């Protein structure tokens, strides 16, 4: 969502004849425009539109400012998810594999949907696998590396939930079953395969949630620390 807002602001120059808001026929779009207008306006005045000739040489400024905004929005999203989970008594792991994972994966989902509609099934599958590998190796490696080598040299990062071991096993199993399903479907992306992987995702969520709530075995429930 953040990426789409930045892209809309930077790369889609509005037409001089276009109305300031959607037409009356699209009331839902008008409500969406009113709701997102402050954010889009803020991005427009802080991120140079390098698609215009006069801003072409400032493309690096556009890249840096857009990246900074994505970092700010990501921090706010994680903070809100953590506070909501703590308030409702939901473990951090469950909030991470549901709301946080969905929020960060929507752009990948939209990209895969676009290329799949264009008939580029290989690119859609490669995008989903590559993005998850990037999230695991780089998304965890960079912050852990900064914490242990720069911010607090020699420190360690502790993982509080033993349930993550079971979640990793479920993750590997879901990947294996996904590849098996694609193979049995003769490497074609169709409605049956879509329903199949959605069912696998629901099963993964159900088992992960039950594990974190000690249904099968006892695990530590990672919650925010409450200051005295």
Token reading at 158: 């502790």
Please list, in sequence order, all residues whose beta carbon lies within 8 angstroms of the beta carbon of residue 124, skipping any fewer than 6 positions away.
112, 113, 115, 116, 189
pLDDT at 133 over 90: no
| pLDDT, mean of residues 179-185 | 89
State pLDDT tens for residues 1-52: 444 444 444 444 444 334 455 555 566 777 777 888 888 888 888 888 888 8
Q: Where are the domains of the chain?
A: 1-88, 90-228
**Rounded CA separation 67/71 (Å):** 6
State pLDDT tens for residues 82-109: 898 888 888 777 888 888 888 777 777 8
The vertex-172 CA angle with 101 and 212, nearest 5°, equals 55
CA atoms within 13 A on the CB side of 218: 0
Please report the pLDDT score of residue 15 as a whole number.
40
Please report the pLDDT score of residue 5 as a whole number.
45
Please report the pLDDT score of residue 196 as a whole number.
93
**Rounded CA separation 5/61 (Å):** 17
pTM score of the predicted model: 0.63
CB-CB neighbours of 223 under 10 Å: 14
């Amino acid at each position: 969502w953040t990426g789409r807002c930045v892209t809309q602001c930077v790369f889609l120059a509005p037409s001089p004849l276009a109305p300031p808001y959607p037409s009356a026929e699209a009331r839902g779009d008008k409500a969406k425009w009113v709701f997102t207008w402050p954010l889009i306006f803020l991005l427009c005045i802080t991120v140079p539109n390098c698609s215009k000739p006069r801003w072409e040489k400032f493309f690096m400024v556009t890249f840096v400012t857009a990246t900074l905004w994505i970092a700010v929005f990501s921090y706010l999203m994680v903070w809100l998810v953590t506070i909501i989970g703590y308030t409702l008594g939901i473990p951090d792991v469950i909030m991470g594999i549901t709301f946080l994972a969905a929020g960060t994966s929507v752009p990948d989902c939209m990209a895969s949907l676009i290329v799949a509609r264009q008939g580029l099934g290989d690119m859609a599958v490669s995008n989903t696998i590559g993005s998850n590998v990037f999230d695991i190796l780089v998304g965890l490696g960079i912050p852990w590396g900064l914490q242990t080598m720069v911010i607090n040299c020699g420190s360690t990062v502790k993982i509080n939930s033993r349930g993550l071991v079971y979640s990793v096993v479920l993750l590997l199993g879901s990947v294996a079953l996904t590849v098996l399903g694609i193979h049995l479907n003769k490497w074609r992306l169709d409605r049956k395969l879509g329903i199949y992987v959605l069912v696998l995702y629901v099963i993964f969520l159900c088992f992960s949630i039950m594990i974190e709530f000690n249904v099968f075995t006892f695990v530590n429930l990672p919650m925010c620390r409450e200051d005295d």
